[in-house]
Structure 1
């Protein structure tokens, strides 16, 4: 029987800041490894910033790296990424930077040097060839888009104003997850 876990993909890494830690997986089976910022920053409510990571990588052809938000920052501080996930193409050799945003309506968020700000997931990606056609083949979903699988789209008429308020405490923020 063969091992179902594939061999790791070799990725060349250049530390632009010699003190920045090399990305590593925190736990076995983790999909992403943490990225840190090399600069301190302060974000007022609604403010965004581009934070450097001090890292540049060279991915093999057929791969891309995706920069995802950290769930802990989102749950505790309301921090997310403006372009989540950010895409690092195989041909890009510049510094990986993370566009963070403070979505908390009241609290300022502070980052210190080497705070974890995002996670990097490397994935194999397919190249495609597009073929223009006059009509697309049918499917069970057809053109059903936003809300077509339930939720608010299934709300009976006259109930458009029903909503669930999300509280400011962590437990209420995590109820719907």
Structure 2
């Protein structure tokens, strides 16, 4: 079990902390800390504050992911999904939401706008080399096995 410290930023004490909506949910729902209703027009995106900051131990990252209900019902998703929050970041979590739907979407204070999933990050050392081992796939890229 990892312990992650969470800080509510000044002026956001009225908002619930991120929480899982079911016992076995993977993600903690993040809420909008907007001070007034915010409109996102179709095809546009906005940076949404959450009013929280985290302190994660080394070897952990947080990923910001869309909420499936908002994506399916309204076309609202996280623009850079998954957004990565590194263990050494201490600033406010802010979410880039984009409206892929056909109607203006309104975000109110306290709305659940995204989810936060924690993942372990392995320590990796890149090893420069002049050659790589051969595989059946080789350098076959996008669509190389068909559609």
| TM-score, with structure 1 as normaliser | 0.77
- Aligned partner of 2:42 in structure 1 is 45
| TM-score, with structure 2 as normaliser | 0.92
Q: Which has the higher helix share?
A: 1
After TM superposition, which residue ranges in structure 1, 4 or more long, deviate above 3 angstroms? Answer: none
Q: 2:108 aligns with which of 112, 115, 119?
A: 112
Larger Rg: 1
Shift of 1:28: 2.0
Q: 1:21 aligns with which of 7, 16, 35?
A: 16
- Aligned partner of 2:2 in structure 1 is 9
Shift of 1:140: 3.2
Structure scoring higher RCO (CA < 8 A, sep ≥ 6) equals 2
Distance 2:17 2:137 in 1: 44
Distance 1:31 1:138 in 2: 37
**1:35 aligns to 2:63 (yes or no):** no
* Larger displacement relative to structure 2 (14-23 or 92-101): 14-23
Change (3 A) 1:148 1:71: farther
Q: 1:62 aligns with which of 59, 65, 71?
A: 59
Shift of 1:31: 1.1
Shift of 1:117: 0.6
Shift of 1:29: 1.9
Over aligned residue pairs, what C-alpha RMSD do you find?
1.2
- Aligned partner of 2:86 in structure 1 is 89
Shift of 1:144: 2.2
Q: Which has the higher strand share?
A: 2
